[in-house]
Amino acid sequence: MATLWPFISQMNPDASTIAAGAPIEVDLSPIAEGQDIKVFWRGKPIYISHRTKKQVEEVRKVPVSSLIDPATDQSRTKDGHEQWLVVIGICTHLGCIPIAHEGNYDGFFCPCHGSQYDASGRVRQGPAPLNLPVPPYQFVSDTKIQIG
Amino acid sequence: MSGPSNYQPSHPALKWLEQRLPIIGLVHSSFVAYPTPRNLNYWWTFGAILSMMLGVQIITGVILAMHYTPHADLAFKSVELIVRDVNYGWLIRNMHACGASMFFLAVYIHMFRGLYYGSYKAPREVLWILGVIIYLLMMATGFMGYVLPWGQMSFWGATVITNLFSAVPYFGESIVTLLWGGYSVGNPTLNRFFALHYLLPFLIAGVVVLHVWALHVAGQNNPAGVEPKTEKDMVPFTPYATIKDFFGVTCFLIFYSWFIFYMPNYLGEADNYIPANPAVTPAHIVPEWYYLPFYAILRSIPNKLAGVVAMFSAIIVLVFLPWLDSAKTRSNKYRPLGKQFFWIFFVVCIGLGYLGAQPPEGVYVVLGRILTVLYFAYFLIVLPLLARIERPRPLPNSIADDVLAKSGRKAVATAVVGLVAALSLFAGSTGDARASEGQENPPSAKWSFAGPFGTFDRGAVQRGLKVYKEVCSNCHSLQYVAFRNLSEPGGPGYTPAQAAAFAAEYKIKDGPNDAGDMFERPGRPADYFPSPFPNEQAARAANGGAAPPDLSLIAKARSYKRGFPWFLIDFFTQFQEQGPNYVNALLQGYEETPPHGVTIPEGSYYNKYFPGHAIKMPPPLSDGQVTFDDGSPATVKQYAHDVATFLMWTAEPHMEARKRLGYQVFVFLIIFAGLMYFTKKRVWAAAH
């Protein structure tokens, strides 16, 4: 069994791939309210949205129990930075990239199989089973985050 | 492969070899003296056809591998260079790409034949299971091969399919990372897929040897489904089966050549002529036609894990077929109920294939669920039940009796042709069902290069080049076209000197020189058209966020849905000018004021034929903008038509060679098939 391990382990990401997947810092100051940017981390697109007051109010008003994958907006954002939403832009259905600012929930719309997410990245209409995942990140300062 | 041979070579050298390695005896007993049932019909020639296809795929594949670069940055380009620069590269690539579809078409016919005539029943269970293993290996090979050109559909197909494994509980994400060798589909994924795509066909060949071995132990099944009893039931493999297989193979080659030479992109996907881009998802991600029924099963189940399990079960259930169907009668010819259910099942499979290509919404989802239930019901309910309640019709006493009672062999041959055509058309329909939706199709223009004898109108290509140079090239690159191409046969028809002079008008960046600096020099024929922007970001920034696409392949990378019944007719008329029609229509499709109720965002323009109608490109052409030396009218209509012709040439510079060689191959194959048919009739004259 131990002999087999190197032959399986070699398939995992190699050292340079892991190194390239180190945390990145993103400056938030150029993103105006209502805008969003897409950055790549570990080959995955990450949406950073500067949400409007209206969007934040709306997603916090939704009863959590009515969601497909129940989660509060508070649990998906950082306290004191509730205008910022950071999510991995990969549809949880089969891995396509949803389009921001589209769909019926003022959030994301996946063009592949029609999943819709709200402005908190929570799935509101199938076939996706889960919310858009929130990557590990923290605020380094008020206008800068570190992803990873 | 059927026990010790009684073959005795007469030549001393062969005798010497035979005593040390009885290989000639093996071949003789397996493929010459080997007895085959007298009543085999043409459905039984698909074994030979599949062997040929495996050979074709391995040979063309090894050749392509010699020219291909398995790297995320270079793969797409290397495929284009194979098609453009390698001698007969376009032919070998078309053979390999269309060959995959033909291979699957043949294997499906082979499988349905086994299903209809009960070829999986005792004593042939192991033979059947080996076949299922080959089919699974083929699916894996086909999938990985489709990833290699590294176009948009390659990349996103790979993403969707590898993500299937993320449905595995607990280990899902780790498995997917292991498959990718990274955190998303990327260069390591491409590299390992290439290695495996090269390896698996040889594994298939190995299992095929076992499959043939098992076949030669159990003996072939036959349409009557009764085991041979006397010598009268059998004929020797050579010449009887050999000549029949040759005729079948030749007919199949004619069908195959229709795709290679005339419809190379009919079964393909326009999006795959756009290089892979991890930041943009195509609107519809659809697998190749041969996976569509299983894709439909996957999507019809709302739970992700259950969907993946159902999809794999749909294939694995075939392994248990010999025990699920316990009916004593093999052939459905003698099973009145079994026959009806077989054809219902056949329609269910075709229906699932159709649904796999449709967007998963509304009525398609409901239909998908119904057909999925029917698919499994056939194996798990219908077949076990039929075995208990059905009263089969009396079987013939022997194969010889079956042959004597038989009439209408021709009907079978017609059925073969009919079914092959129907299946391929179905495949084509799925290809067409994926393009843009919800808007008017571009009108079909008249093109000199359409049809089996089409050639480029030299004047139009030259005028199109002028329009590109003076207008389009300000924003659009043409990176796969070199100046030398302008003087190659089948193109605008310039002389090498004219092409060199044309090149010299351009400034090309070269270097570094001895001092280590980059410098500019006049272009040479070997240089490629320089791009107007240094990189994609610069192009995007200068054009309001939308990078102008490279135009080299645009005539093949854009398409639209033709709809029923046009896709059927297109197969016979060889219509494949969607790309030039689109380019032509787009350039003329601008309207000053959008129709009522349509709002166009700031900085965009209304275009009738652009998907979504809001295009960032301002109307590029106006009357009188470019003057032609040959007196052609300086109108937008003329410009659009000429530039579309030019771009069809840049997308496929060897189109004329393809159609010319196709004509020669067809003449040869049709004559050869005729000779084969009459030889076969002669050989079989005594056996019927």
- Give the pLDDT confidence of B217-236 residue by residue, as tens digits: 999 999 999 999 888 899 99
Q: Which residues pair with B53 in a beta bridge?
A: none
In order of B120, B383, B392, B659, the CA distances from B324 in angstroms are 11, 7, 18, 49
CATH architecture of the domain with residue range B458-481+528-653: Orthogonal Bundle (1.10)
How high is the pLDDT of residue B414? 61
Q: CA of B280, closest CA in chain A: separation in Å?
A: 7
Q: Which of chain B's residues have a Cβ under 8 Å away from the Cβ of A114? A: 359-361
Confidence of residue B688 (pLDDT cuts 50, 70, 90): low
Q: How far apart are CA B246 and CA B268, in angstroms?
A: 29
Q: How far apart are CA B598 and CA B595, in angstroms?
A: 6
Tokens matching residue B473? 């090239």
Spell out the alpha helix ranges (H) of B390-525: 399-405, 409-432, 458-470, 496-504
Residue from B162, B164, B192, B281 whose CB has the most chain A CBs within 10 Å, to mutate: B281
Q: How far apart are CA B146 and CA B149, in angstroms?
A: 7
Arithmetic mean of pLDDT, B605-633: 88
Map residue B378 onto helix, strand or coil: helix
Nearest to B274 by CA among B33, B554, B66: B554
In this structure, are residues A88 and A136 in contact, taking their beta carbons and an 8 Å threshold?
A: no
- pLDDT at B530 > cutoff 80: yes
- Catalytic choice (A81, A93, A101, A113): A113
Within 13 A of B483's CA, how many CA atoms are on the CB side? 22
How high is the pLDDT of residue B2? 46
With pLDDT > 70 as the criterion, what percentage of chain B qualifies?
94
Q: CA of B186, closest CA in chain A: separation in Å?
A: 8
Q: Can you give the residue ranges of every domain in chain B? A: 458-481+528-653
Active site residue A113: yes
**R_g (Cα) of chain A, nearest Å:** 17
- Summarize chain A as % helix, strand, coil (round to 5): 20, 30, 55
Mean pLDDT for chain A overall: 85
Q: Which of chain B's residues have a Cβ under 8 Å away from the Cβ of A12? A: 177-178, 181
Nearest to A120 by CA among A145, A82, A85: A85
Q: Which residues pair with A46 in a beta bridge?
A: A39, A88
The chain A residue lying nearest B183, using CA atoms, is A42
With pLDDT > 90 as the criterion, what percentage of chain A qualifies?
1
Arithmetic mean of pLDDT, B400-407: 76
Q: How far apart are CA B399 and CA B35, in angstroms?
A: 13
Read off the pLDDT of residues B434-454 as tens digits, 9 standing for 90 and up. Answer: 443 456 889 999 999 999 999
Is this prediction's ipTM beyond 0.85?
Answer: no
Arithmetic mean of pLDDT, B552-567: 87
**A44 touches B at CB < 8 Å:** yes
Residue B184: which of A38, A44, A129 has the nearest Cβ? A44
How high is the pLDDT of residue B410? 53
- pLDDT at B433 > cutoff 50: no
Superfamily of domain A31-147 in the CATH hierarchy: Rieske [2Fe-2S] iron-sulphur domain (2.102.10.10)
Residue from A93, A101, A112 whose CB has the most chain B CBs within 10 Å, to mutate: A112
How high is the pLDDT of residue A113? 67
Out of B112-126, B324-338, B408-422, B556-570, least confident range: B408-422
Q: How far apart are CA A119 and CA A126, in angstroms?
A: 16
Nearest to A62 by CA among A139, A119, A144, A4: A119
In this structure, are residues A14 and B188 in contact, taking their beta carbons and an 8 Å threshold?
A: yes
Arithmetic mean of pLDDT, B386-410: 82
- Summarize chain B as % helix, strand, coil (round to 5): 60, 5, 35
Arithmetic mean of pLDDT, B457-486: 95
- pLDDT at B354 > cutoff 80: yes
**A42 touches B at CB < 8 Å:** yes
Arithmetic mean of pLDDT, A59-71: 85
In this structure, are residues B191 and B74 in contact, taking their beta carbons and an 8 Å threshold?
A: no
Confidence of residue B431 (pLDDT cuts 50, 70, 90): very low
Mean pLDDT for chain B overall: 90
**B303 touches A at CB < 8 Å:** yes
Q: Can you give the residue ranges of every domain in chain A? A: 31-147
- pLDDT at A43 > cutoff 60: yes
Read off the pLDDT of residues B275-287 as tens digits, 9 standing for 90 and up. Answer: 998 877 787 788 8
Q: CA of B107, closest CA in chain A: separation in Å?
A: 28
Confidence of residue B432 (pLDDT cuts 50, 70, 90): very low
Arithmetic mean of pLDDT, B18-22: 91
How high is the pLDDT of residue B369? 94
Q: Which of B58-72, B174-188, B417-431 has the highest mean pLDDT?
A: B58-72
Nearest to B156 by CA among A90, A23, A14: A90
Q: How far apart are CA B596 and CA B592, in angstroms?
A: 12
Read off the pLDDT of residues B304-319 as tens digits, 9 standing for 90 and up. Answer: 889 899 999 999 999 9
Q: Which of A2-11, B79-88, B434-443 has the highest mean pLDDT?
A: B79-88
- pLDDT at B333 > cutoff 60: yes
- pLDDT at B430 > cutoff 70: no
How high is the pLDDT of residue B421? 63
- Interchain CB distance below 8 Å, A14 and B159: no
Read off the pLDDT of residues B25-54 as tens digits, 9 standing for 90 and up. Answer: 889 988 899 999 999 999 999 999 999 999
| Residue B157 phi, psi (nearest 5) | -60, -45
- pLDDT at B10 > cutoff 90: no
In this structure, are residues B155 and B277 in contact, taking their beta carbons and an 8 Å threshold?
A: yes
Confidence of residue B3 (pLDDT cuts 50, 70, 90): very low
- pLDDT at A91 > cutoff 90: no
